[in-house]
Chains A and B, each alone.
Chain A
Amino acid sequence: MHNIKLVVSSSPHIKDRDNVTKIMLSVVIALIPTVLSGIFFFGLKSLIILLTTISSSLITEVIFQKVRKKPITLRDGSGLVTGLLLGLTLPPNLPIWMAVVGGVVSIGLGKMVFGGLGQNIFNPALIGRAFLLITFPVKMTEWLAPLDGVSAATPLNLLKMQGIKTNYFDLLIGNVGGSIGETSAIFILIGGLYLLYRKCIDWRIPVSYLGTVFIMTLLLGQDPIFHLLSGGLMLGAFFMATDMVTTPITKKGRWIFGIGAGIILVIIRVYGGYPEGVLYSILFMNGLTPIINRYTRSKIFGEVAK
């Protein structure tokens, strides 16, 4: 016995098998159908954009960690997820160097300046996209028609500017102009369901977000199904608004987050100058998350109402 080294630590002595890397990889797996449909509809250039945002994100992370003499944490997979999500929100014909800038800003400004994984307030991929949208407004709103590669407008634009409504089927499969990974509602949904099954996301956020958009557009006399299927809403609802780091930790808070984002989205889409509002609706609610957390603490077991 004297030669045996026993580990002494306080309980619990067993742990769940799931870990951060597995969760991040699940997000990547869930995005595979979306990635494939994006490449199918918009060509190989989209793949190159995705690879660019991923590698620039990862390289930025390494550089930040090297400079700060912190351990390199590429293996947690979070940089990969950010890079991939950013790429999926970009137009398929974006100049590659702009995609590089997007990755650098996402990770640098969106994540590392806050202290790295888990510390950031805003969704890093959306920070990158917001930066690109403000800095390169023209290139960021040039869209391609699927399959033939000529320039085209997005369904939301068509509706807003010309009053043309795209049919549901094209919206569902993604046969419309738009960002690489935002057009195909059905493939995003498949990935989203996988994440729900893997318990990587809370159903409350997509349900409250999409539900609010549905009800509000209905009340405002718009076509709710068109709004659900178009623009970045599906990708946003299942992959952005559900980002663990930047959304509330309480269940009540997640309802508030989803409803709030839904309201902002509809206001922007219906009354605002932009055709699309997913980006800002989520970023806005990200900013409110700390306050939501503070005011939605549930009662503890047996706590008497004060």
Chain B
Amino acid sequence: MYKKKRLSFKGGIHPPYSKELTKSISLEYALSPKVVYIPLQQHIGAPCEPIVKVGDRVKIGQKIGEAKTFVSVPVHSSVAGIVKKITPLPTPTGSKVMTVIIESDGSNEIYEGIKPKGELSNLTSKEIIEIIKEAGITGMGGAAFPTHVKLSPPPEKKIDTIILNGSECEPYLTADHRLMVEYPEKVVFGLEVIMKAVNANKGIIGIEDNKPDAIENIRSIVAKKPNIELAVLETKYPQGGEKRLIDAITGRKVPAGALPMDVGVIVNNVGTAAAIADAIQKGMPLIERIVTVTGNGIVQPSNLIVKIGTLFKEIIEQCGGYSGEPGKIISGGPMMGFAQYTDEVPVIKGTSGILVLKQKDAYSEVEQPCIKCARCVDVCPVGLLPIKIANYSQKSKWDEAEAYSALYCIECGSCSFICPAKRPLVQRIRLAKGEILAKKRNK
């Protein structure tokens, strides 16, 4: 089909992708929720200050939380209705966060301030970045880092290339896939906005070769754009890991401990680009996102456009409910997502998927002794010796773990996945990283 060499990186795994559950299911709007629970911190960085009080009436797109520091973004209401309560509630990332509870009045009235920002050619770089910040846009791939921060490198770092990450290497998830199939022009426009914002002259969209329809649709649009390219990537986890992606596409290796901007590249998720397109073309802040609802524990797996703040429970009910006893509910994908202890948590900006596994798939097998097969070494995309770091971690030997470069672990989980002795390797490395960092802070 595509003769061009598939781009890739060293290491990695081929987990069962399980994307056939949802990959050809079209996007659909989820039912408008009666009540939304909007956390004031959905991103990496400082939480927002609420700027509404209980009893206030808000409209769709109205700002309800203000960012007070640079590394933070505002949050907006996804419904029109009355603020019922502002109280700490759990979020899918595991922490309790001050949350604005809004009861929808069903009017779907849109905030007056929402209007298109005009032609891209009339906007300056500074204006674009301000629009992106005010629209509350964060990375949509899962980590939810404020996008305007990423797009504001220090002046001495010249950015020449913007990469859009459409690899979606996490098994099960098809949110980015459907976005690229159904709204490719939005993705490409978002990329053009980002390129203008940081004055980069080249844009590349990287897509894994297991999404031929997405590749086709994006290709037909970028064919007319001389400064935008399409890169077909090998389907391999973690192809979407930022540094691996840059390596695969440009051959540039981001030095250990450095950032993509140090090699002149900024990477954004395709979903982020689409959100940026909405912020410019409609003036609409980030109030909804695509969520893949999937897994053998769901009756009707779907790709839904969900308002931020909708409870997992409601979404699952709309997908026909649980199929059998659910064993595990995961926010995000199975490799890096977060297991939930309840389905009463809201969809937030970083929620790319809701994955429900049946009970039989929820428990991990009993750990056996390490047989030193070194499969973890072979698959580690960073080139670490996971077996060594995990062993030191188990013995609380943090200095040794650090000497084996524990801090460079990207926590992709490939080692834990592949381990035939079912040892929790990445979990132990995470622990070591935490201990090493805590020690550094205390110095």
Interface residues of A (CB under 8 A from B): 1, 4, 6-16, 18-20, 22-23, 73, 76, 78, 116-119, 202, 244-251, 297-304
Contacts and interface: CB of A to CB of B under 8 A. Distances in A.
A11 B336 contact: yes
B436 to A, nearest CB: 15
Contacts of B342: 1, 6
Given A4-B326, A6-B328, A302-B243, A14 B16 contact: yes
B222 interface: no
6 contacts: A6-B339, A11-B337, A13-B339, A76-B368, A118-B372, A301-B243
B341 A6 contact: yes
B348 interface: no
Contact of B365 (A15, A22, A202): A15
Contacts of A247: 372
A298 B372 CA distance: 17
Given A10-B427, A15-B417, A117 B408 contact: no
B372 A300 contact: no
Interface of B: 10, 13, 15-16, 171, 243-244, 247, 253-256, 258, 313, 325-330, 334-344, 355, 357, 359, 361-365, 368-374, 377-378, 381-385, 387, 404-405, 408, 411, 413, 416-422, 424, 426-427, 430
Contacts of B417: 12, 14-16
Given A23-B371, A302-B243, 7 more contacts: A6-B327, A6-B342, A9-B364, A11-B330, A11-B426, A14-B334, A20-B421
B235 to A, nearest CB: 16
B344 A1 contact: yes
A33 B137 CA distance: 63
Dominant secondary structure of chain B at its interface with chain A: loop
Contacts of B337: 11, 13
Contacts of A250: 374, 377, 385
A134 B343 CA distance: 66
A23 B13 CA distance: 18
Contact of A7 (B343, B363, B368): B363
Nearest to A201: B373
A13 B408 CA distance: 22
Given A22-B420, A23-B371, A304-B256, A7 B327 contact: yes
The 5 A-B pairs with the shortest beta carbon distances in the complex, nearest first, are A12-B413, A249-B374, A118-B369, A7-B362, A13-B334
B339 A14 contact: no
Given A16-B417, A23-B371, A23-B373, A6 B383 contact: no
A244 B376 CA distance: 13
Contact of B371 (A11, A245, A299): A245
B371 A7 contact: no
A304 B255 contact: yes
Contacts of A6: 326-329, 339-342, 362
A15 B368 contact: no
Contact of A19 (B359, B361, B382, B422): B422
Contact of A4 (B247, B325, B383): B325
Contacts of A9: 328, 339, 364
Nearest to B362: A7
Contacts of B253: 301-302
Given A19-B421, A250-B377, A12 B371 contact: no
A10 B313 contact: no
Given A1-B343, A6-B339, A16 B15 contact: yes
B369 A117 contact: yes
B369 A119 contact: yes
Contacts of B313: 1
B397 to A, nearest CB: 15
B413 A11 contact: yes
Contact of B430 (A10, A13, A116): A10
Contacts of B422: 15, 19
Contacts of B381: 301
Contacts of A16: 13, 15, 417-420
Nearest to A119: B369
A301 B421 CA distance: 26
A301 B418 contact: no
Contact of B15 (A14, A248, A298, A301): A14
B370 A118 contact: yes
A8 B340 contact: yes
A119 B369 CA distance: 8
B416 A15 contact: yes
A172 to B, nearest CB: 30
B409 to A, nearest CB: 10
A23 B420 contact: yes
Contacts of B247: 301
Nearest to B384: A300
A4 B359 CA distance: 10
Of listed A8, A117, A244, A302, residue having the most chain B CB within 10 A: A302
A246 to B, nearest CB: 8
A294 to B, nearest CB: 10
Given A10-B339, A13-B339, A244-B374, A249 B385 contact: yes
